[in-house]
Structure 1
Amino acid sequence: MSSKQQILANIRKHRPASSPLPDLNEAWIEYEDREAQFWETLKFVGGQGQSLDDRSQLEAAVRQLPCFPDARQIVCRVAGLSLGNVDVDSIDDPHDLASVDLAILPGEFAVAENGAVWVTERTVRHRAIYFLTQHLVLVAPRGQLLDNLHQAYERLRFGEPGYGLFISGPSKTADIEQSLVIGAHGPRSLNVFLV
């Protein structure tokens, strides 16, 4: 028996007994005011945003963001908005997105519990844009605001290959001299609009 086989045999021999998975069918947290909870949590993690009555207010709201006047390269994948000047579909190499100042992208739903928005690659050719842009704007349907992650997980489908993630707040790290740094590994700001 080789040393590798011996090590693996010892691991199998001393494997702990398996235990059943916990029952997750219970009452999870629900909020009286889901929107208020979402905004409070998003602000706590460094994000900003607002609810809009209808999509006609969206362009004006984006133009009022502090990052908008200085944004030279803008990717916009939100239907009905014409703020973008970078055609992401014509870019073959995602590295070319490193100079994007502002990305305005759709989210599928939002979660009040952690101030997160679920995004996928369905409308975005290069998923790197979520991390390479300097400033990120996510637009999610106001009617698709959920209370908790358990409700969110019930909506996710993993039957086909794809990419998706929850984004909550801008990029942040505290491992640089034990100081909180915003934007070290991704967007320096996150704004969410619920429409």
Structure 2
Amino acid sequence: MSSREKILSAIKGISIEPKALPEIPDFHLTGELVEQFIRSIIGNKGEVMSRVEFQSWIGTAHFSKIISLSKTFEDLSNLALPEDPHELEDLGLAILEGQFGVAENGAIWLEDPNLGLRALPFITEHLVIVLERKNLVETMHQGYDRIGSAHSGFGVFIAGPSKTADIEQSLVIGAHGAKSLRVVLL
């Protein structure tokens, strides 16, 4: 018998009593849900705007290429969604609809059917996510419950602009995705 076989045989011979999984408490946040969500987005280096604030901001912003897949702001698109994501390499602004937001950490769930192209929220220079207040949940536990076992093919939580830091604590914003995230809370 080889050393490998002896080790595997010894492991198989160990009897382990099955243990029940721990109960997950029903976590809740204290305070106002919308205010907590706004604090979380700001803490993630994002910004939260009302519809009026967004319309004022977009009026002063100068983006040569905009794609809006949001029904609320579809008139802002000046570029059709291409089939090839490589054509989006110089996209200035993408406006997407978020399915729901998580107040505890500011994460916003985006699903395949609302993305057009999976690369869109990552390839754009600036990202705007439109989210209805009624679609906020308190915790990630509730967020995962909301996703459930539905199979959409692809989904992603986005919780702010892209950030990375090195061991010297040099923070770089926009290294792997959008340089800014603005959430229009309706």
> What TM-score comes out, normalization by structure 2 length?
0.85
Structure 1 residue corresponding to 2:129, chosen from 138, 147, 150 = 138
Q: Which residue of 64, 78, 87 maps to 1:96?
A: 87
Instruction: State the one-letter code of the partner of 1:63.
Output: I
Closer, same or farther in 2 for the Cα pair 1:16/1:147, shift >3 Å?
A: farther
| Unaligned stretches of 5+ residues in structure 1 | none
Q: Which has the larger Rg?
A: 2
Q: Is the 8 A contact 1:51 1:142 kept in 2?
A: no
> Out of 42, 58, 77, which is 1:84 matched to?
77
| CA deviation after TM superposition for structure 1 residue 12, in Å | 5.8
TM-score (norm 1): 0.82
> Percent identity between the aligned chains?
38
TM-fit CA distance, 1:45: 1.1
Give distance in 2, aligned partners of 1:43 and 1:14. Answer: 54
CA drift of 1:50 comes to: 2.4
Report the CA distance shift for 1:32/1:125 in structure 2 as closer, same or farther (over 3 A).
same
Count of aligned pairs between the two proteins: 184
Going from structure 1 to structure 2, the CA distance change for 1:159 and 1:80 (only over 3 Å counts) comes to: closer
CA contact (8 A) 1:119 1:164 kept: yes
SS at match of 1:131: helix
Matched, 1:72 2:64: yes
Which residue matches 2:29? Answer: 30
Gaps of 5+ in 2: none
AA at the equivalent of 2:66: I
The Cα RMSD (Å) is 2.8
Matching residue of 1:20: 20
